Structure 1
């Protein structure tokens, strides 16, 4: 049965807790209204996920090992890899921020309101218990998403009473995010350097790895080819000897397996500093009568590799999943 969202929204703006409790009656805990037959109707997969699965199958068939790289990158990693170019790269990244945990004091007026309106008849022990919870929260012994549950458990109150108490404290509602030196990855490359450094003496060469996941960029304009978040299929090969030609042949084979028989490789005029000079290449495929850029490949600079004490050449390729899916 449908409900009236406008009416619920209006009531919630007047009294959120009461509306939250009241509207629970619109939902059913028991009863069977749907059936879940398996195989009767096939679901619809997302085309990006289907393409990612094709990438995974292809790369696994070439003997690559799959890796899940972290999504959070310390700013210092970008500086180690890009050198003097780092400020330009960092201009495109999203920095992370966190809310500080404030010191929360219980003034006499708030104490009276808690004991008279929210938890009628509560004694001094409730206020002391609340102070203890706030102290544990400040010290990090209680996580933010556990705070209400902790109040319910320690103070023996209902969830709606706990949230009503929290709403009294402006220290919690007026917090300003504090920036950190952590970023969301804008290039999968940022994670390959520390990974390869950790593995170079633990695995036999060549080491062939791939990772498929999201990257985030603070684009100045958003359109079908410029997104805040998009997927990249990234691979690296570390070997005693490997040439750019070796890498190009691999990329040609992968694109052919994806159904693209024609590929063009164009050396970038301005090389990113984590690649060696003249060793960064843009990859284009023919589609609909035009050439579309779908990948960036190259050999890492020995300077950037040496910042991680990596002793061997590394080939890297990054395919734009959304670009190829288009």
Structure 2
């Protein structure tokens, strides 16, 4: 039976052994009272998309329907919406451009060059094929990414040769410069709402309640801690004959209460955009208890979080919309900064480019594993036998010998024992049950219930590896490879007890000048002896 870690519940020792063998990960000895189902680790969401999803749910909870608004907006619409402010708005938008289609002439000299590259003469039909395809490309009937393939198919040659032809025979393609169109990337979600409402005004009965959470683009001179060139707007509209400013206040409060904001203040927005009716553009300030006293610019607990207003009747008339429309919008990244108490939007949105690299203890713990694992079922059984024997007898006085496992491996019968020959010792040293924890970037092997390490045990991240677990796996792997004695005396580093820290995690630890401390007396000897 094929093992599927997402579906199989481990109920028997056989199930457990199979799971361990196929998962390649350490699992503690089977306990019939526990559920050993193996589940994949849950991924970590981006703060931005996590906040986006919560906003979507918040809008849906309030009865708004989700819409996808147009991203590409003609600049003529900007003039219709913003009136004499349009030029100022257009100064901050990205115009879309494209490469023009060159008018390529085909001379006899060029045909000779093509023949030299494809290594055969061109027939009259071949020449006509080239002319026809280039003419269709010029007219837009053939897309740029199909040009090479179409010429190669028409001439029955390899694509690579046609690529050389384009590069060497037609310099017109190299000299192309992009030309701007009258299409822009939307800088305000409002630009899309006018188009959407125009399309729906005769199809939906009022009130029409819509929302969209999507990208907008601003041609900022530079990006900074709270401003990006591409960000997400969480915007909604209500179209209804009776809609007014009070509805905007209610929507703002209903939306933000779902994020823990408890109090609200509303004040007129001095910007007074022309697509809003005068004196209806309102800024929303919310109070969040978690921000009070925080190490951010919102330490007083109050933050500007949204703006709403009633669209201008003049702007609405440009789209034949006869009803008043309330529009509210907030920046997703701004809200995410508040919820995650981030100081710099750039670091929150693009953590991969942060100059200061941060890794949580949980992330670091996932980079720690047992280095050498047995490959065979017998090897896994041997390792578990060693672990169980050490747990039961590790404190037994020496000299002593305890059998841990017997069976066949690689065609040989073996008996495995834990041994300590010296007198007045114990079977295993004092650190053999030390457990691996990550705490504040340190990776530590600690004895449990030791007052010295109580804070690490209570607040750190438990990796789930003990020294004896890793050593037992190393001994089993050694036996598979014909090495029949494994001894660990003093541990000073992870490798001494068969623990591996991924190089990425190790670089982080070293870069942050954190500690890796695996010191401790292990003094454990495991022997495998052939049995006649």
Q: Which has the larger radius of gyration?
A: 2
Measured after TM superposition, the shift of residue 174 of structure 1 is 0.9
What residue is the counterpart of 2:501 in the other structure? none
Distance in 2 (CA, whole Å) between partners of 1:226 and 1:98 is 28
Aligned to 2:221: 220
Q: Distance in 2 between matches of 1:268 and 1:279?
A: 9
Instruction: Give matches, 1:47-58, under 5 Å.
Output: 47-58=47-58
Could you tell me whether the CA contact under 8 Å between 2:111 and 2:122 is conserved in 1? no
Residue matched to 2:309: 298
Residue 85 of structure 1 corresponds to 85
* 1:143 shift after superposition: 0.8
Query: RMSD of aligned C-alpha atoms?
Result: 1.8
Q: Does 1:206 align with 2:207?
A: yes
Question: Distance between the aligned counterparts of 2:156 and 2:121, measured in 1?
Answer: 10
What SS class does the counterpart of residue 69 from structure 1 fall into?
A: coil
Equivalent residue number for residue 184 of structure 1: 185
The alpha-carbon deviation at position 205 of structure 1 amounts to: 0.8
Matched, 1:314 2:305: no
- Hey, what's the Cα distance between the residues in 1 that align with 2:113 and 2:202? 64
Summarize the Cα distance change of 1:255–1:107 in structure 2 as closer, same or farther, 3 Å threshold: same
d(CA) in 1 for partners of 2:239, 2:39: 44
SS for the counterpart of 2:280 is strand
CA distance in 1, matches of 2:57, 2:218: 27
SS state at 1:276 partner: coil
Q: Give me the whole-angstrom Cα distance separating, in 2, the residues matched to 1:107 and 1:284.
A: 69
The TM-score normalised by the length of structure 1 is 0.84
Measured in 2, the distance between the counterparts of 1:89 and 1:96 equals: 15
The residue number in structure 2 matching 1:160 is 160
Give the drift of 1:256: 0.9
Corresponding residue number in structure 2 for 1:3:
none
Aligned pair 1:138/2:138, yes or no? yes
* CA–CA separation in structure 1 for the residues paired with 2:325 and 2:286: 24
Partner of 1:267: 268
Q: Which aligned pairs between 1:106-125 and structure 2 lie closer than 5 A?
A: 106-116=106-116, 118-124=117-123, 125=125
**Alpha-carbon distance in 1 for matches of 2:285, 2:146:** 50
Is the 1:236–1:316 Cα contact (8 Å) retained in structure 2? yes
Contact 1:269 1:278 in 2 (8 A): no
Shift of 1:262: 3.0
**Deviation >6 Å, runs of 4+:** none
Task: Indicate the SS of the match to 1:92.
Answer: coil
Counterpart-to-counterpart distance in 1, 2:282 and 2:181: 33
Q: Which residue of 2 aligns with 1:276?
A: 277
What is the Cα deviation at residue 121 of structure 1? 1.3
Cα pair 2:62 2:254 within 8 Å, conserved? no
Residues 217, 230 of structure 2: 8 Å contact kept: yes
Deviation at 1:280, TM superposition (A): 0.6
By how many angstroms is 1:43 displaced? Answer: 2.5
Asked if structure 1 preserves the Cα contact closer than 8 Å seen for 2:285 and 2:305, the reply is yes
Deviates more, 1:277-286 or 1:135-144: 277-286
User: How far apart, CA to CA, are the structure 1 residues paired with 2:265 and 2:109?
Assistant: 73
Checking the alignment, whether the CA contact within 8 Å between 2:237 and 2:325 is kept in structure 1 is yes
How far residue 321 of structure 1 moved from its aligned partner, in angstroms, is 0.3
Conserved 8 A contact 1:282-1:295: yes
Unpaired stretches in structure 2, ≥5 consecutive residues:
1-23, 25-37, 338-532
SS at match of 1:275: coil
Q: Distance in 1 between matches of 2:148 and 2:304?
A: 50
Equivalent residue pairs, number:
289
* Alpha-carbon offset, residue 39 of structure 1: 4.8
Report the secondary structure of 2:214's partner residue.
strand
